Amino acid sequence: IHLSVLLLLFVYLFSFSFTEQYEAVEPADTVFALAGEDVFLPCSVKPYISVVDMRVEWFRPDLKNALVYLYEDHDDRNTNQSQSYRGRTKLNHQELQRGNASLKLSSVQVSDEGRYKCLIQSKSWSVNATVIVRVEAVAGSPPVIIVDGFDQSGGLRLQCESEGWYPEPVLEWLDSEGVRLSSETAETHRNEDGFSVKHTLTVYETDSKIHCRVKLRHHMLETMIIATSKYWHIVPVLVCHVLVVFLIHMYVQFKIDHHMIKNDLKMFDLHSVLNYGFVWQVICLISGGHQSS
């Protein structure tokens, strides 16, 4: 009996020491991938030993252990592979001889972001590694600046928008000196294509260069608008036209109140009204021309 116990203890200690001499090598940092491109998820055994005869499994613990890839009995066993990974995973069988079980993931999707587990298992021991994947979708559209009218103080309202980013990018306004300007409003929306961002800004200085920049880590897209004085000329001309309409209305109302316009259309001094309005239109055009010069 004592001999049997000693034998079992010896086998246990031997297998324990054998297991301890191997470990899985996992990346120290997060693996960043670009949407639509390929990425390698690193996983290997140290010290190097062939894992050709072992079982290699990749799965997602953050998705109820969804199967990403399975290698067993010298072949791929992906019958139960998660549908979203079908046709997009590959293991280099030659690299297995060097203890390298890194997985190639093709045509990266936004949904591929998350936590992955690499499990290497022999008949007597097993090791596992964790790989964190972050997906960047740099197919975001270049920012577009739209002039959105004027506020009550005569300031020029600008709106900048960009879409198709992942994860959420940073949008910022800058002046001609590169100094950041505070956005007045900021909106962020997310759909299956990623994030869209929209910020607004009001400019009060003429002939100023305003930049709208969208950044995501080391990726950046930028556009610029020159807020020339022509935008501000729109205001007085529009006001002047409104004033013309108002004055014509007052002129006609004055005639009516003083019974100077009869029901008979022949008595209606239409030419006077038109001439009256025409003069004011000319004044508007002249004033606008002086301001633009």
For 166-201, write each residue's pLDDT tens digit. Answer: 889 999 999 999 999 999 999 999 987 789 999 999
Residue 5 has pLDDT above 90, yes or no: no
pLDDT digits (tens, 9 = 90+) for 226-277: 887 666 544 443 444 444 455 555 655 666 665 554 444 444 454 554 454 4
Average pLDDT for 16-44: 84
Higher pLDDT pick, 172 / 204: 172
Q: What is the overall mean pLDDT for the chain?
A: 80
Burial class (CB in 10 A: 0-12, 13-18, 19+), 267: exposed
Long-range (24+ apart) CB contacts under 8 A made by 273-279 are: 273/248, 276/247, 276/248, 276/251, 277/244, 277/247, 277/248
Q: pLDDT at position 217, please? A: 78
Strand partners, 173: 181, 212
Structural domains of the chain sorted by starting position, each given as residue range(s) with its CATH number in brackets: 22-136 (2.60.40.10), 144-227 (2.60.40.10), 231-292 (no CATH)
Q: pLDDT at position 235, please? A: 42
Q: Is the peptide bond before 143 cis (omega within 30 degrees of 0)?
A: no
Q: Which of 62-71, 211-220, 223-232, 236-245 has the lowest mean pLDDT?
A: 236-245
Please give the Cα distance from 178 to 210 (Å, whole number). Answer: 9
Please give the Cα distance from 200 to 280 (Å, whole number). Answer: 36
* Percent of the chain with pLDDT strictly greater than 90: 54
Burial class (CB in 10 A: 0-12, 13-18, 19+), 131: buried
Contact of 30 with 134, CB cutoff 8 Å: yes
Of 13-27, 89-103, 125-139, 270-284, which one has max mean pLDDT?
89-103
Q: pLDDT at position 253, please? A: 63
* Percent of the chain with pLDDT strictly greater than 70: 70
Q: pLDDT at position 259, please? A: 57
**259 in the Ramachandran plot: left (φ > 0), alpha (ψ -120 to 50) or beta?**
left
Count each helix (H run) and each strand (E run) in the chain, helices first: 4, 19
Q: pLDDT at position 192, please? A: 73
Phi/psi of residue 183, nearest 5 degrees? -75, 145
Residue 13 has pLDDT above 70, yes or no: no
pTM over 0.95: no
Q: Which of 2-6, 167-171, 198-202, 210-214 has the lowest mean pLDDT?
A: 2-6
Give me the residue label for tokens 């309005």: 277
Report the greatest alpha carbon distance in the chain: 133
